[in-house]
Structure 1
Amino acid sequence: MKLNWGTGIVLAFIGFISFIMYFVINMNTSEKYNTSLVTEDYYKAELEYQNDIDKEKNARNLAQNITWKRTEKGLEINFPESMDISQITGKVFLYRPSNEQVDFETAISLSHHNLLIPDKRLLDGRWNIKVDWQYRGKSYLYKKEIVY
């Protein structure tokens, strides 16, 4: 059987389309390439974005904002020393961009001006930390990308 240039072009197109379809199907069905959204209900989160902007502005206007440091026991989040710790409430959310299974949220419960997140809960690498807290009826938000 003799192949002419028209048959060769058709076979090349069929091969190329098959190659592309294989990778499209493989990427969509394989658990290895599982992609996830940052948040499941991102439309609701978008509506709350102006509140977050206001909270961050409140936090920037503080004389002393939240700080963090890595200790041998874990991640230590320090709240302003000038505030009464019994009046501080809120939540700390740690988000790991590379693995949503290790994301977690914890309530703020202070006995001193710092909150310790144990080392065993954190993997080395990049984390996004979000501290949404209130003090005497005013809301604050601290967001930071950290490398632990």
Structure 2
Amino acid sequence: MSWGKGIVLVFVVFILGIGLLVYRSMTKNIDLVTTNYYEKELKYQEQIDKINNTNSLKENIKIDYNGNVILITYPAVQKNITGEISFYKPSDAKSDFRIKVEPGSDMKQLIQKEMLAKGLWKVQINWAMDGRDYFSEDKVMIQ
């Protein structure tokens, strides 16, 4: 094989490889963490305030997974806690869901494993008590 044919062959293989990479990158579905990220960015100072409020508590929310259920333990300081729990699955945005904060009389809330597909989940809790807003976040691996 001559030098000219070898160089042309290398260029053709290179161009085909780049074309394949462009095609695959255009057809790959990439889920955003949130669809309204611009609005959330504008309100980020509120988020910082919620995190600071949470850090100032003596007792914080605990999120535990024991293989069967996710147990969320709220601070025993107050009984009138309201808010929302968001479950985000980074690998599949269609699995994301939200539920209300509804602690029982023992200040605990159970989420059944059946509600969650296997894999990594981000659990974010936006909650309020005594007129102050709080935010807690943790990761849970469902197996």
Q: TM-score, normalised by structure 1?
A: 0.85
- Secondary structure of the residue aligned to 1:58 is helix
Work out the CA distance in 2 between the residues paired with 1:83 and 1:71: 26
Q: Match for residue 95 of structure 2?
A: 102
Q: Match for residue 141 of structure 1?
A: 135
Within a 5 Å distance, the mapping from 1:1-148 to structure 2 comes to 4-29=2-27, 33-71=28-66, 73-84=68-79, 87-112=80-105, 113-148=107-142
- Secondary structure of the residue aligned to 2:134 is strand
CA contact (8 A) 2:90 2:121 kept: yes
Work out the CA distance in 2 between the residues paired with 1:12 and 1:146: 48
- Percent of aligned positions that are identical: 33
Aligned CA RMSD, in angstroms, stands at 1.8
Paired residue total: 141
CA contact (8 A) 2:31 2:91 kept: no
CA shift, 1:40, in A, is: 0.9
Q: List gaps (5 residues or longer) in structure 1.
A: none
Work out the CA distance in 2 between the residues paired with 1:72 and 1:19: 45
Work out the CA distance in 1 between the residues paired with 2:20 and 2:141: 37
- Secondary structure of the residue aligned to 2:136 is strand
Q: List gaps (5 residues or longer) in structure 2.
A: none
Structure with bigger gyration radius: 1
- Secondary structure of the residue aligned to 2:58 is coil
Change (3 A) 1:71 1:5: closer
Work out the CA distance in 2 between the residues paired with 1:64 and 1:15: 61
Structure 1 residue runs of 4+, over 3 Å off? none
Q: Deviations over 1:55-97 (max 9, x none)?
A: 011011111110122246511111111212xx21110001111
